[in-house]
Amino acid sequence: FIVLGVETSCDDTGVGVVTSSGAILADSRHSQLAWHQKTGGVNPKVAGKLHREYLGSVMETALRDAGIKMKDVYAVAATVGPGLALSLEAGMDFTKKLVAKENKPFIPVHHMEAHALTACITHPVSFPFLVLLASGGHCILTVCEGPGKFLRLGECRDDAPGEAFDKIARALRLHTHPLVSDLSGGRAIEVLAKFGNPEKFPFPRAMSQRLDCMFSFSGIKTHTMRVITSQEANDPTGPHSPVLQCEDISAASLAAISRHLVTRTQRAILYCIEKWPTLNHLVVSGGVASNLYLRKKLEELASYYGYHFSCPEPSLCTDNGVMIAWAGIEHIKAGLPLMKDLSTLKFIPKWRLGKDISNVVADER
């Protein structure tokens, strides 16, 4: 069977068409990056308006690319939360109309669950597995026991890693850098880091005293901001001059953020080895997981502990409609209920994933 997935939780409009056997028939997207770069961050009003403007054409493209009509679609899935209220509302309004007009069953999808399940489309991943979700708004270590069944070992106390990358990139004015101006903050830093020396600006370790699976990226971000300000003070010539050393600062901040992600994931693996003897798979997803440097570090970590490692291809790590369609398919396969009447359905801007067991992890380490 075929499921159509609609994603509008933040600043990417996505419609994906996927079959129950995991064939991706369409992955249609519209990115708002260029609009939001002008104002230095996602403006929720603009985001909602652009989703409403582009959803129709993004969906038409998806159906055309897939070579199907709505009558061939078995069910529709959409992101219900978490995310920006005005973005989610735009997606909900569109989907409600579509579902009513076409008389299709509906699957409400948690955006972070969709990120977590994406790896199952292209990799042989079976439940339970450990998953690190690192993205623009979240950082979560969780055990996935099945669709809708998540146990949270840890999450971030402050800025998410993608948010830290975006803020550092902004401070480095990478949106005006000739090499990387059209890329997201995290991707821009990944590209420039290749030309830099991470040892040039040593970074303190984040939360090294705490023995749990929680994350904090604000210290790394603040440290980077201080380095940038002190470099700029020496710099009479303006942005991107050799004095600012964008490449070295990018390399150092990427190394520091990755190191924190890797140490926390190591702790989670140690806990899982004790508690879930049958679990032997690390999955990594979310926008930040498209970073090849970080993926390599995490893959090395997993292999050290004899864990399998799976990460969706970089383009499926960032927001897209395919992952929403696939989460819908996983729900259907698991026998979770489909919705018919959407009149009472509300979007959920704040929605934690699964059950919190972070205390257990902290106590036992």
Q: Which of 73, 96, 52 is nearest to 3 (CA)?
A: 73
Q: How would you label 340-362 residue by residue, b for 16+ Cβ within 10 Å and e otherwise?
A: eebeebebbbeeebbeebbeebb
DSSP 8-class letter at 215: B
Q: Which does 118 bind (CB under 5 to 8 A by kind): Fe ion, ligand ATP, none?
A: none
Site string for ligand ATP, 280-309 (x = CB under 6 A): ------xxx-xx------------------
Contacts with ligand ATP by CB under 6 A: the residue count is 26
- Closest to ligand ATP by CB, 129 or 217: 217
Site string for ligand ATP, 92-131 (x = CB under 6 A): -------------------x---x----------------
- Closest to Fe ion by CB, 115 or 221: 115
Stretch in the footprint of ligand ATP (CB under 6 A) among 23-31, 136-144, 148-156, 233-241: 136-144
- Give the SS3 label for residue 35: helix
Q: Which does 231 bind (CB under 5 to 8 A by kind): Fe ion, ligand ATP, none?
A: none
DSSP 8-class letter at 337: P
Q: Which does 190 bind (CB under 5 to 8 A by kind): Fe ion, ligand ATP, none?
A: ligand ATP
Dihedral pair phi/psi, residue 261, rounded to 5°: -60, -40
- Closest to ligand ATP by CB, 73 or 322: 322
285 makes contact with Fe ion (CB under 5 A) = no
Locus of tokens 């994906």:
16
135 makes contact with Fe ion (CB under 5 A) = yes
CB of 334 to ligand ATP, least distance (A): 22
- Closest to ligand ATP by CB, 10 or 120: 10
48 makes contact with ligand ATP (CB under 6 A) = no
- Closest to Fe ion by CB, 156 or 192: 156
DSSP string, 90-152: HHHHHHHHHHHHHT--EEEEEHHHHHHHTHHHHS---SSEEEEEE-SS-EEEEEEEETTEEEE
CB of 303 to ligand ATP, least distance (A): 21
Site string for ligand ATP, 138-177 (x = CB under 6 A): x---------------------x-xx-xx-----------
Stretch in the footprint of ligand ATP (CB under 6 A) among 182-190, 218-226, 337-345, 357-365: 182-190
Q: Which does 206 bind (CB under 5 to 8 A by kind): ligand ATP, Fe ion, none?
A: none
- Cα distances from 129 to residues 146, 237, 355, in angstroms, run 9, 51, 15
Distance, CA of 353 to CA of 350 (rounded, Å): 10
Among the listed residues 135, 142, 250, 258, the single contact to ligand ATP using CB under 6 A: 135
Half-sphere exposure of 334 (CA within 13 A, CB side): 17
Q: Are 100 and 342 in contact (CB under 8 A)?
A: yes
Among the listed residues 9, 87, 142, 231, the single contact to ligand ATP using CB under 6 A: 9
Report 294-353 residues binding Fe ion (CB under 5 A): 319
Cis omega (within 30 of 0) for bond into 108: no
How many angstroms separate the first and last alpha carbons of the chain? 45
DSSP 8-class letter at 204: P
Paired strand residues for 81:
110
- Cα distances from 232 to residues 63, 172, 245, in angstroms, run 50, 10, 10
Which residues of this chain interact with Fe ion, rule CB under 5 A? 135, 319
Which residues of this chain interact with ligand ATP, rule CB under 6 A? 9-10, 83, 111, 115, 135-138, 160, 162-163, 165-166, 184-187, 190, 286-288, 290-291, 318-319
